Structure 1
Amino acid sequence: MFKQERWSRLLELLAVEGKLDVDGAAAAVDASPATIRRDLDELAEQRLLVRTRGGAIAHGVSYELPLRYKSSRRASEKQRIAGAVADLLTVGDVIGLNGGTTTTEVARALALRTGGGLGESGEGQNGPMCTVVTNALNIVGELAVRPQFKIVVTGGVARPQTTELLGPLTAGVLNKVVLDVAVLGVNGVDPQLGVMTHQEDGAGISRLFAQCARKVILVTDSSKMGKRAFARICGLDRIDSIVTDSDIAPDMVDRLTEAGIEVITV
């Protein structure tokens, strides 16, 4: 296993367990204890964890995997999901995208789209192909240089781990816009509790995206189905469609369909 793969796995284990011991981590990633000690020391230098005697603990109680490590997980599924979502969107849409690895893939899929009346300049006859409203700085980076998009950035205070903008400034913009479609990435989908994420401030912003949209599309791989997270975004009654991969359990599809949600698998 290469170092980056090993680090990604260690951070994933840490996100789930909250702590690691050297021997257990070594067994989990099939590496020597000496290698794990060096890995933990280097990750601690990058402030991705806190080193302890014999292991490590998560960097703060609200620990999240940094975006650059999350992005490689279930990458092919996320790309297929993103392509399916891009096919659901039409020229002229005002689209909201919250932060996350799957919504980033949606932005990339949109950037690769051609046609739709686009001219040589990348703009349609009446201006940009669509408008994207986002609080994710990495999504801004993906789309801002492409003239077929009008990009609206919410403003707010940046969270380093996810590059999301959060806080009252973010909410202030979202309270003043109207979206055709909100495309939301989440950390958990539960038939009773609804849609959830790890951070309460992120949940509040995602809730605003949903409230100001005519249609809400959830984008998440099947590993999030049936999972719970700390902060609730909204109930399933606010979700119109879920686009996920084909590994979703059939009984989960049935329960979501019974709740009136269109489930699209790729």
Structure 2
Amino acid sequence: MARDTRWQALLELLAERGRLDVEEAAAELAVSAATIRRDLDGLAEQRMLVRTRGGAVAHGVSYELPLRYKTARHASEKQRIAAAVAELVAPGEAVGLTGGTTTTEVARALAVRPDLAAGSPALTVVTNALNIAGELAVRPQFKIVVTGGVARPQSFELVGPLADGVLGAVTLDVAVLGVGAFDPVHGAAAHDESEAAVNRLLCERAERVVVAADSSKLQRRAFARICGPEPVDTLVTDTAVAPETVRRFEEAGVRVLAV
């Protein structure tokens, strides 16, 4: 197993458990304990975790993987979800995109839609995600509006009062949310309170709200609440979603598309 693959696997385990033991991690990844110790030392040098005697712990309660380490997780599911979300957007609409790996795939799916290849503009995209803005800015058929704010290195998202100022002055047809968790009772949530605040404002400015989330994020809770289930019109997820989960979301008034 390559080092980058091991590092990603270790960070995913840490995100799930909050604590890692060297011997247990070595057994799960089928490598030596010495290799795991070197990996944990390397991740600690990058401030990705805190080393402890015999293992490592996460950096605090609301730990999240930086975006660059999330890109390979549930990749095929996210691409299918993104394609389905892109089809919910009509030419000429104003679309709000939050940051995240799934919404990044939504941006890419919109970029290759043939009916959005021309227009003035074919689509207006409002986003607080620097990586999404960077990918779409080279496409002249899209009008890209980037919020101000302070960049979070974990997600490339701009947050804070400057972002609030821009979003308070626009109106959106649809907001597409990438979330840390989505529950039919507690609603949508993020790992960071500043991201949640910007995402909440995007919801408030939109005529309709779409949550794009793979099934691993459903019926879960995260630290910072974005909104309840009531503002969400549609949840687009993958086919691994349990029928009972679909039923609970539909009872909460959320249409579910499993792709």
Do structure 1's residue 76 and structure 2's residue 46 form an aligned pair? no
Find the aligned partners of 1:254 and 1:14 in 2 and give their Cα distance.
Answer: 31
The secondary structure found in structure 2 opposite 1:223 is helix
Which structure 2 residue ranges, 5 or more long, are not aligned? none
Tell me the equivalent position of 1:233.
226
Find the aligned partners of 1:97 and 1:187 in 2 and give their Cα distance.
Answer: 15
Find the aligned partners of 2:58 and 2:25 in 1 and give their Cα distance.
Answer: 14
Go from structure 1 to structure 2 and tell me whether the alpha carbon gap of 1:33 and 1:186 turns closer, same or farther (over 3 Å shift): same
Instruction: After TM superposition, give the deviation of residue 218 of structure 1 in Å.
Output: 0.5
Query: Which residues in structure 2 correspond to 1:102-181 (within 5 Å)?
Result: 102-116=102-116, 118=117, 123-124=118-119, 127-181=120-174
Query: Which residues in structure 2 correspond to 1:78-97 (within 5 Å)?
Result: 78-97=78-97
Which residue of the other structure, out of 247, 251, 258, is the alignment partner of 2:240?
A: 247
Instruction: After TM superposition, give the deviation of residue 56 of structure 1 in Å.
Output: 1.6
AA aligned opposite 2:44: A
Instruction: Tell me how many residue pairs correspond in the alignment.
Output: 259
Provide Cα deviations, 1:206-261, integer angstroms capped at 9, x if missing partner: 11010000000000001111111111111111000010001111011111112221
Tell me the equivalent position of 1:10.
10
AA aligned opposite 1:5: T
AA aligned opposite 2:22: V
Instruction: After TM superposition, give the deviation of residue 61 of structure 1 in Å.
Output: 4.0
AA aligned opposite 2:66: P
AA aligned opposite 2:190: T
Find the aligned partners of 1:178 and 1:216 in 2 and give their Cα distance.
Answer: 13
Find the aligned partners of 2:96 and 2:52 in 1 and give their Cα distance.
Answer: 41
Stretch moving more, 206-215 or 48-57: 48-57
Stretch moving more, 218-227 or 41-50: 41-50
Instruction: After TM superposition, give the deviation of residue 60 of structure 1 in Å.
Output: 4.0
Provide Cα deviations, 1:45-91, integer angstroms capped at 9, x if missing partner: 22211222222222344321011111100000000000011111111
Provide Cα deviations, 1:107-130, integer angstroms capped at 9, x if missing partner: 0111111134x4xxxx31xx1110
Tell me the equivalent position of 1:190.
183
Find the aligned partners of 2:251 and 2:87 in 1 and give their Cα distance.
Answer: 24
AA aligned opposite 2:172: L
Tell me the equivalent position of 2:256.
263
Q: Percent identity?
A: 64
Kept after mapping to 1: 8 A contact 2:62/2:223: no
Tell me the equivalent position of 1:31.
31
Find the aligned partners of 1:19 and 1:219 in 2 and give their Cα distance.
Answer: 29
> Considering only aligned residues, what root-mean-square deviation do their CA atoms show, in Å?
1.2
The secondary structure found in structure 2 opposite 1:238 is coil
Find the aligned partners of 1:40 and 1:189 in 2 and give their Cα distance.
Answer: 31
The secondary structure found in structure 1 opposite 2:182 is strand
Which structure 1 residue ranges, 5 or more long, are not aligned? none
Stretch moving more, 223-232 or 100-109: 223-232
TM-score (norm 1): 0.94
Find the aligned partners of 1:260 and 1:18 in 2 and give their Cα distance.
Answer: 34
The secondary structure found in structure 1 opposite 2:203 is helix
AA aligned opposite 1:236: P
AA aligned opposite 2:52: T
TM-score (norm 2): 0.96
Instruction: After TM superposition, give the deviation of residue 136 of structure 1 in Å.
Output: 0.5
